[in-house]
Structure 1
Amino acid sequence: MAKVDVTMPKMGESITEGTVIAWHKQPGEAVEVDETLLE
Structure 2
Amino acid sequence: APRGFFCGMGACFDCLVTLDGVANVRSCLVEVRAGCVVEATAP
If the length of structure 1 is used for normalisation, what is the TM-score?
A: 0.26
Task: Pick the structure with more strand per residue.
Answer: 2
Select the structure with the greater relative contact order (CA < 8 A; seq sep ≥ 6). 1
**Which of structures 1 and 2 has the bigger CA Rg?**
1
Higher helix share: 2
